[in-house]
Amino acid sequence: MQDLSLYNNKSFDPGAGVFVRALWYCVNALFFDSWLMPLSKVKIIILRAFGANIGNNVVIKPKVNIKYPWNLKIGDNVWIGERVWIDNLTLVDIGNNVCISQGVYLLTGNHNFKKRSFDLMVRTIVIKDCVWLGAKSIITPGVVVNENVVVTVGQIVTKDISQNTIFVTSKEDCSRVRSVVD
């Protein structure tokens, strides 16, 4: 059982000072996690100004929430759909030719429920080249999604995925995928 009075997050370093984080929260709310700025090119300029490493031909749709841009690396030819949440307490590394569909959640942090103090744990997420993350998928801390992977709609990915894989968890989803692929 957790005792949240024991929780201490002082060892976590967000990678930027309080002023930069506060400024980013405002910019994120106005230009990313809103409908006000539909232009990807402007968003990319802003992300780079805050330390993100962004490739060419990147599309970022409205209502995308990015925790810390200085912990974000995006390759070339990447599409990030509406309502994607990149909760990057540490590095999220997205390769080339990646489609991140609507409502995907990339989660780099969680709490250790085995400890009474409910310690924060953060781990990098790597999405390699030629990956499609289906709508409403969740990628959990420490996961590597290898090359040429399709994660089908609504999946929760808790372990690395081998290359050249279609990731499904239910038998029903698996039979639907087989009928489309065959």
pLDDT 10s digits, 50-81: 999 999 999 999 999 999 999 999 999 999 99
Can you tell me the mean pLDDT for 94-98?
98
pLDDT 10s digits, 1-24: 778 888 787 778 888 899 999 999
Residue type, 157: V
Q: Over 60: is that where the pLDDT of 176 sits?
A: no
**CA–CA dist 151, 128 (Å, integer):** 13
Is the pTM higher than 0.75?
A: yes
Report pLDDT for 180: 47
CB-based contact 79:54 (threshold 8 Å):
no
Q: How many CB atoms lie within 10 A of CB 180?
A: 7
Structural domains in the chain, CATH included, are 14-181 (2.160.10.10)
Tokens (6 digits) for 17: 């000072």
**CA–CA dist 130, 147 (Å, integer):** 6
Tokens (6 digits) for 31: 């230009």
Instruction: List alpha helices for 28-102, DSSP H.
Output: 40-49
Task: For residue 47, count CB atoms less than 10 angstroms from its CB and return exposed for 0-12, middle for 13-18, buried for 19 or more.
Answer: buried
**CA–CA dist 174, 180 (Å, integer):** 10
**CA–CA dist 153, 168 (Å, integer):** 8
